[in-house]
Every structure is written in C-alpha cells, then in structure tokens.
Structure 1
Amino acid sequence: MGMEVELPDDFRCPISLEVMTDPVILPSGHTFDRASIQRWLNSGNLTCPVTNLPLSPSPSLIPNHALRSLISSFLAQRPTAIDAAADNRDALLLAPLSFPSDAPTLAAVLRLAQRGGPNSRRLVADSGAASVLFRHAAAPDPPDLQDLSLRTLLHLTLDGDDARLGLVAEGALDPVVAALRGGPAAALAATLLTSLAVVDVNKATIGAHPAAIPLLAALLRYGDGRERREAATALYELCKFAENRRRTVRAGALLPLVRLTREGSERAVRVLGLLAKCREGKEEMRKLIGFINVLSEVLRAGSPRGIEHALLVLNYLCSDSREMAFTAIKEGILDLCSVLAGDMNPNIGKNAMELVLRLEKEQFGGYS
C-alpha cells in the first residue's frame, strides 16, 4: 500500500492534462474533457488539438460513456491514504523553496504542477512558491531557471479564471512582460500572457501595462517563427478588449501582422479583423500599399477562418471609402466574392455577400 497508484494517461484530457469528468469524442477520434475542448472551439480553433487536422465549423462532441465509467470506477477504488501521503510529500518539497533556487528543485515543482492535478497546483500557488517563480521568470540568466519558472506558472493558469486572476494580483505581470524582451523564453512568456488574458479583467490590466503590447509588437517584427506566432496569438486574445486594439495599432504591430498574413498565418488575419474594428486600425490599413492585394490572396488560398476574417477586414475598409472599394474591384475581389457568397460556411457566405453589395454599389453608381 506504500506505492502510489498512477492514473492512466488515457484518463487525462490532452488539453488540460487533468482527469476528465465529462469525456467527449471529436470527429478526429480523440477524446477530450468537454469543458476544455469547448473552450478550444469557442476560441475560434477549427483543428483537432492532437492531430492538427481541420474540423467542421461546428464539430459534434460525442459522449464517451465507456471511458467515463472506467474513470469513475478507478477513482472510487483509489486509496485515499495514498493521496494524503502524496500531499504530504508535495508539501515537504515546497517548504524549503527560496530564491535563488536551482534547476532540480524548480524541475520538481514543474512536475508537480504538470502531473499532480488541481490539488497539487493549488498547493504550489498557496505555498508562496509564486514569488520565487516570479523572480526567476524575470531574470534571463540562467535561462534554464527562467524557462522552468515560466512553464510552471503556465501550468498554474490551468486551474481556471480564479487562478489567472490570482497570479496577476500577486504580481505575475511585470516578470512575464520582462521575459518578452528577448531570449529563448520570449515565446513562452507570450504564451503565458495569452493564458492570463483569457479573463476579461486581465485583458484590460495587461493592455494597460506600458510595455506589454509594445514588446509583443516587437516580437512580431524581430522574433523567430515561434515567437511571432505566439505574439500574434497573445494579441488576438488581448484585442478582444476594444482599447487594446488602439494600443496595438499605436505600437506598430500592423505592418508585421500584414507580413505574417502574407506568409499564410491565419491568426494574423484574425488579429487584423479585430484591429479593423477601430478607427485607428482602419486608417493605418488604408495607408498600406498592397494591403488589399494581401487580403485578396487570403481569399484565394487561405483557410476558411482566414477567408472569413479577410472578408470582415475588407467590409470595414470599403464601408466608407470609395478609394478602398475601387482598389478592391481592381484586385478582382468582386469576382472572388461572387463565388464565395455561395460558400457552405455561413459566415463566409454572409460576409462575401455584404462585400458584393458594397462593391457593386461602387461599380454601378458609387456612394450617395
């Protein structure tokens, strides 16, 4: 009875890494906890998190009753004494944690946050370990300690909105933003910002930080492939809050987002769709030479989600600008939209038809 009973990996959701309470099967054949996969889909993702293969716009979630029954039976038989012993062991691990720490200790804390489940993550959060993690997260030297600390903090955010709010309230923002300044941890810091920004209050707090959005914009301009992708993802989450759109435009993120769009980044197009909703965003887009051409290429060869957001941007740009509408017609967008108006995706069809009507109004008489 002194040995710990290991939970089978198949019992854990591939997204949250927690034991599933309501397992459901995607059309891809993989099983996820309903709450986790629903958040994934609600965030606009249309791929399977495991295979990265495309999904339909509203994929069915089939309850996995057999797995749910197996998990319930297993947990009912799991000895509670072993759980208590594990909690005591975890507390002993965290008790001597202090700054500066070392790689083996922080690696052990990371494993606890990764595999210990919600109780272990709360134990890490409540133990005072966060202050040690913050200090190492802000310090690029040594890089392995910074990486371990950021990864641990990222796993602590998996416990939901209260955990995300708590980390920001305890002072996570300054060290995470500091880690954006460059080096091997920059992409990881951007990922952590994305997770923290899921909470609406945190969107406003992060956006108001004087360096957060400017440093994400700098990553878009000068970062490597992964850093640019993670920066675009963070900005997409942040720009769901209206004031952050203006901040993003002022930080100079527009041009590198257009470059990413030209390279085929769906996430960059989605950020542009949010930026086009604000006056500053539209004004800057209209100044960019060749921008309409970039959007036309998305309509020709982009993903369904990319096409949908490119159409949104075009509708915003052409809604009150004859010059933009005329340029769009010259780029062949009217013909493209005439085809897309019949698309099976209702969002694409609706946005394309709206654009057709706008451009035809310009072509056959102009704006009143």
Structure 2
Amino acid sequence: MKETEVKLPDDFRCPISLEVMTDPVILSSGHTFDRASIQRWLDAGNRTCPVTNLPLPASPSLIPNHALRSLISSFLPGGLPAASTSGHHLDSLLLARLSFPSDAATLAAVLRLAQDGGGAGFRRLVADSGAVSVLLRHAPAADRPDLQDLALRALIHVSLDGDDARLGLLAEGALDPVVSALRGGPAAALAATLLTSLAVVDVNKATIGAHPAAIPGLATLLRGHDGRQRREAATALYELCKFAGNRPRAVRAGTVAPLLHFAGEGSERAVQVLALLAKCREGKDEMRKTVGFVRALTDVVRTGSPRGVEHGLSVLNLVCSDCQEMALEAIGEGVSGLCSVLAGDMDPKIGRNATELLLRLEILSSPCMTPNRRDR
C-alpha cells in the first residue's frame, strides 16, 4: 500500500508487516492483523498468536474488523478498495435500504435472515455485510422501541454463530450500545440476554465486567419488578461471575440482597450466582452483614429444587467457614438437622455438600472454639 502524507496511527499497521492494513481481521486471541499477513503466518504452520505467543485453535478463524477498516478508510484520501467477500450476499434491495435510521420492515428482514434464513452461514452473512453497525446504532434507541427490539433480537442471533462472532461484535463496538439498552424499558431483558451470549467467551467476560455500567445495570434490573428482566439479569451475572475478577464488582454493585430475595422466590439461577459471589472475600463479608441471610438460604435448602438445594448448601458452607457466629445462626435455623437428612441424598453433589456443611457446623460449634469468631 502506497504511503500517504497523512500521519496514520500505529494501530492502523499490521503487527506482522508493519504496513497499514487494507483488510484487517481479528484472530481468536483478540488481536488484529492484515488478512494477507496473518494468513501467510498460519499457512506456514504456526498455531500461536504472533503478538502474545499463546496457542490458537487447530483451525483459527479470521473475523473481519469492519470498524477498524472503516476508520482506516476515513483517514485515506482515496479510501480503501472494496474488501473481497465470498459466499452469499444480502439482497441488493435490502442493502440499499439498510442505513441509519432504518425502518421496521428492513430490520425485520435482517432479523429473519439472522434468525432462520439459512442457519449459521446466513447469520455470518449479516455480520460480514456491515449490517451489524446499523443494528448497533439502533440498539440503544429507546425512543423507537420497535426498532430497538428488532435490532437487539437480530444481534442476539448473530452472536449465536459462535465465539468468533461474539469476539467480532465486541470489536465492532457492541458493548456501549448494549449496556445503554439495560437502562430500562421493554428492551432491557433483550440487552441482558445479549450480554449473556457475549460473555460466553472468557476474554469477553473481563471486557464486559470492566465496563463501568454493565454489572451495575444488571444489578438495577435485579432490583426491579419485571420478572423476565430479573431472570435475564441473573443469567448474565452468572455467566460474567464465572470470571473471578467480576465477583467483587457484582458485590459492590449491590447484587447480594436482590439475589437473596430472588432466590427466596424460587430462582435457581439466583442461588447459583450467590454461590459464585460467596467464593470471594467481598461476597462472604456482604452476605454475613445481610440480615436474615442464613434464614433465607435455609429456606432454599428446605424447600428448593435439587439444583437450588445443591447451591444453597454450597453458599452456607462458604459463609459459615471460619465464622462461628454464622455457624451458630445456621444451627439455630435447623441446618444441622437438614444436613443430616440430605447427607444421604441420592444426588451425590447434595450429599457431599450436606456432609461437608454438617462437619463444619460441628467443628465451629464445639466448646474449644472462641465464641463469635469471624475471620474477615
């Protein structure tokens, strides 16, 4: 590519060739390269990222970085040549109509294409066509809830095309508009669902959690009265909190109390999230300060579903560990008797958790223990 007189940012240059990229693509490591350079690297038999040296899948995918390509093109007087594409193309009429602001009929057509117009190949077509950028601009537009709904639904189906699609959506700048859609209204549940899908990729968990409004936005939905929004928010938090770094963030966002309330209403997912939060010091401390926490979890263990019982026992195990005060409270709520019965449960996870908790309560309630000992 001929150099121009314009001073271009270093991020426009391929880490391999050091030339300005004409067809930037994202590797599964999250780094961007010019397609020709990274393809030569892979064709030579290399299966590590040239930047991080971390291993790559046996058949690495190259995701078009439309956002960066557009940015590079805007810096160059003549722009970039059209990127080569393969496979199917969106209908020319649909392409002609696909712009911002769009209309309901056009977005509905894009949704049908992403949803059932031919499976993964057609979802990939939507992603590679540039339609994603239009969908993302509609995602936070609460003033047009009909268009917002269609856009978020289409983005959810695009994300179902696999981890590469999820990485690509974040690279396209999906996080800000999706988090903005969490602020309320009928689209908030869809935004939480999309965050759940994006968070399936481990590197995305950290990126989403680091956004200053993502986890707090989910916490706000948990405190609301819309059942669907609460369910989707709990599911998104469960996926995000599999990454340990997000657990203290969730605690600081004030999720413990609404999760406890939701668990008391029979939400298995809420109990699962509490089990993850109890694995961090901040989570245990917050649970120990929450009035009625042990009583609520005891009710879950007493009347919950098998999965709720399993995770409820796990939470009590963690909260009572090294804390005689909580152990004595649990004994007072009848947890020891429950554990004696559940220790013989046919579900091995329930039996194991009950046995461990019963032993812990016996140790912490023994006369040799210092009264009311808390190790924070």
Uncovered stretches (5+) of structure 1, i.e. residues with no partner: 1-85
Q: Residue 257 in 1 paired to residue 263 in 2? A: no
Contact 2:166 2:198 in 1 (8 A): yes
Q: Please list the CA deviations of residues 55-105 of structure 1 after superposition, one character each: whole Å capped at 9, or x if unmatched.
A: xxxxxxxxxxxxxxxxxxxxxxxxxxxxxxx94564542344110100000
State the Cα distance separating 1:365 from its structure 2 match: 3.1
Q: Residue 108 in 1 paired to residue 109 in 2? A: yes
Task: Report the counterpart of residue 285 of structure 2 in structure 1.
Answer: 283
State the Cα distance separating 1:318 from its structure 2 match: 1.1
Contact 1:95 1:127 in 2 (8 A): no
Q: Residue 143 in 1 paired to residue 142 in 2? A: no
Aligned residues with identical type, % of pairs = 73
Corresponding residue SS for 2:139? helix
What amino acid sits opposite 1:127 in the alignment? Answer: S
Q: Please list the CA deviations of residues 138-182 of structure 1 after superposition, one character each: whole Å capped at 9, or x if unmatched.
A: 111110000000000000011100000000111011110000001
What amino acid sits opposite 1:93 in the alignment? Answer: L
Contact 1:261 1:269 in 2 (8 A): yes
Matches within 5 A, 1:10-49: none
State the Cα distance separating 1:285 from its structure 2 match: 0.3
Corresponding residue SS for 1:159? coil
State the Cα distance separating 1:364 from its structure 2 match: 3.4
Q: Which of 190, 199, 209 matches 2:192?
A: 190
Task: Report the counterpart of residue 293 of structure 1 in structure 2.
Answer: 295
Contact 2:140 2:148 in 1 (8 A): yes
Contact 1:299 1:310 in 2 (8 A): yes
Q: For 1:111 and 1:226, how far apart are their aligned partners in 2?
A: 23
What amino acid sits opposite 2:113 in the alignment? Answer: L
| Structure 1 residue runs of 4 or more that deviate by more than 4 Å after TM superposition | none
Matches within 5 A, 1:171-186: 171-186=173-188
Contact 1:94 1:124 in 2 (8 A): no
What amino acid sits opposite 1:260 in the alignment? Answer: F
What amino acid sits opposite 2:255 in the alignment? Answer: A
Task: Report the counterpart of residue 56 of structure 1 in structure 2.
Answer: none
TM-score normalised per structure 2: 0.73
Q: For 1:89 and 1:320, how far apart are their aligned partners in 2?
A: 61
**Structure 2 vs 1, CA of residues 300 and 175 (structure 1 numbering), >3 Å: closer, same or farther?**
same
**Structure 2 vs 1, CA of residues 192 and 114 (structure 1 numbering), >3 Å: closer, same or farther?**
same
Q: Please list the CA deviations of residues 99-122 of structure 1 after superposition, one character each: whole Å capped at 9, or x if unmatched.
A: 010000000000000112111111
State the Cα distance separating 1:366 from its structure 2 match: 4.5
Q: For 1:127 and 1:178, how far apart are their aligned partners in 2?
A: 24
Q: Which of 213, 225, 231 matches 2:227?
A: 225
Q: For 1:314 and 1:131, how far apart are their aligned partners in 2?
A: 46
Q: For 1:249 and 1:223, how far apart are their aligned partners in 2?
A: 20
Contact 2:323 2:364 in 1 (8 A): no
Corresponding residue SS for 1:315? helix
Matches within 5 A, 1:231-246: 231-246=233-248
Matches within 5 A, 1:204-223: 204-223=206-225
Q: For 1:89 and 1:213, how far apart are their aligned partners in 2?
A: 36
Task: Report the counterpart of residue 313 of structure 1 in structure 2.
Answer: 315
Task: Report the counterpart of residue 335 of structure 1 in structure 2.
Answer: 337
State the Cα distance separating 1:361 from its structure 2 match: 1.6
Uncovered stretches (5+) of structure 2, i.e. residues with no partner: 1-86, 371-376
**Structure 2 vs 1, CA of residues 176 and 223 (structure 1 numbering), >3 Å: closer, same or farther?**
farther
Q: Please list the CA deviations of residues 40-59 of structure 1 after superposition, one character each: whole Å capped at 9, or x if unmatched.
A: xxxxxxxxxxxxxxxxxxxx
State the Cα distance separating 1:128 from its structure 2 match: 0.7
Corresponding residue SS for 1:180? helix
Contact 1:179 1:186 in 2 (8 A): yes
**Structure 2 vs 1, CA of residues 109 and 211 (structure 1 numbering), >3 Å: closer, same or farther?**
same
| Structure with the largest fraction of helix | 1
Contact 1:90 1:120 in 2 (8 A): no
Contact 1:293 1:331 in 2 (8 A): yes
Q: For 1:308 and 1:88, how far apart are their aligned partners in 2?
A: 49
Q: For 1:317 and 1:350, how far apart are their aligned partners in 2?
A: 17
Task: Report the counterpart of residue 60 of structure 2 in structure 1.
Answer: none
Task: Report the counterpart of residue 49 of structure 1 in structure 2.
Answer: none
Q: For 2:231 and 2:146, how far apart are their aligned partners in 1?
A: 22
Q: For 1:143 and 1:127, how far apart are their aligned partners in 2?
A: 24
Corresponding residue SS for 2:369? coil
Task: Report the counterpart of residue 38 of structure 2 in structure 1.
Answer: none
Contact 1:273 1:312 in 2 (8 A): yes
Matches within 5 A, 1:40-119: 87=88, 90=91, 92-116=93-117, 117-119=119-121
Count of paired positions: 283
Q: For 1:211 and 1:366, how far apart are their aligned partners in 2?
A: 47
Q: For 2:236 and 2:177, how far apart are their aligned partners in 1?
A: 16
Q: For 1:263 and 1:366, how far apart are their aligned partners in 2?
A: 38
What amino acid sits opposite 1:145 in the alignment? Answer: L
Task: Report the counterpart of residue 67 of structure 2 in structure 1.
Answer: none
Contact 1:329 1:359 in 2 (8 A): yes
Instruction: Find the structure with the greater CA-based Rg.
Output: 2
